[in-house]
A and B are shown apart, each in its own frame.
Chain A
Amino acid sequence: MNGLLEFAIGFAQFCFVLAMVFAAYRLLRGPSAQDRVLALDTFYVNGMLTLLMLGIRSATTVFFDIALLIALFGFVGSVALAKFLLRGEVIEP
């Protein structure tokens, strides 16, 4: 029973790292700018999930605060990049 949760955590971590590799491929390759922004968005969400896996495995609560911060700053960064692509300016006067 207890090996099951360990296995599930390892499997999920492997999946997230694989997803990060896919996102990094699109980030480096991506033909247009919006592809790269989308890939960056996927990349930070997967990084946050990997961090959450570490938090579950080590049973401490520090990781959740870091994950919340990553989610917050990642969202702000993605919105700023999308706004820049849309208007050519991030903060309009």
Chain B
Amino acid sequence: MNLETLPAWAALPAAMLLVLGGLFTVIGSFGLIRLREFFQRMHGPSMGNTLGTGCVLIASVLVSSALAARPVVHELPITVFVVTTAPMTAMLLMRAAVHRSKALKNRR
């Protein structure tokens, strides 16, 4: 069985999730070049990337489960990892940015 003969109950939601995830990711990353300062720029990628990764990985679980004709949760660790670590990175970067902007202000 390959992608050509995938049943419709898996192909349709998977295609929708992929398009949705791509749109989320590209909008989130577009915020990176559109927004003015760092504290605004923080929001776009951290939200868009988490949502986009979640959508893509659910689609991937659907497709590989339908291909193997049994539940395959091979991709679930990636989802859990990305969803738990993205806020941690964002928080650390935010603290670093606050610290650095304070230091810059004190120097002036």
A-B interface pairs (CB < 8 A), number:
166
Of the listed residues A8, A55, A86, the one surrounded by the most CB atoms of chain B closer than 10 A to its CB is A8
Are A5 and B15 closer than 8 Å at their CB atoms? yes
* B56 and A12 form a contact (CB under 8 A): yes
Indicate if the CB atoms of A82 and B92 lie closer than 8 Å.
yes
- Complex: how many Å from CA A24 to CA B22? 17
Verify B3–A38 contact, CB threshold 8 A: no
User: Total interface residues on B, using CB and 8 Å?
Assistant: 54
Given A78-B89, A86-B95, are A7 and B67 neighbors across the interface (CB < 8 Å)? Answer: no
CA distance A38 to B97 in the complex (A): 11
- Are B29 and A64 closer than 8 Å at their CB atoms? no
The answer to whether B53 and A37 have CB atoms under 8 Å apart is no
Nearest B residue (CB) for A45: B49
* Range class of the A interface residue count: 35 or more
Does A72 have its Cβ within 8 Å of any Cβ on chain B? yes
Q: Kindly state whether residue A68 has any CB partner on chain B within 8 Å.
A: yes
Interface flags, A6-31, vs B, CB<8A=1, else 0: 11110111111011101101100000
CA distance A57 to B60 in the complex (A): 10
Q: Contact check, B33 vs A7: say whether CB atoms are below 8 A apart.
A: no
Are A49 and B2 in contact, with the CB atoms below 8 A? no
B26–A59 CB distance below 8 A: no
Interface residues, chain B, CB within 8 Å of chain A?
2-6, 8, 11-12, 14-16, 18-19, 21-23, 25-26, 28-30, 32-33, 38, 41-42, 45, 49, 52-53, 56-57, 59-60, 63-64, 67, 74-75, 77-78, 81-82, 85-86, 88-89, 92-93, 95-97, 99-100
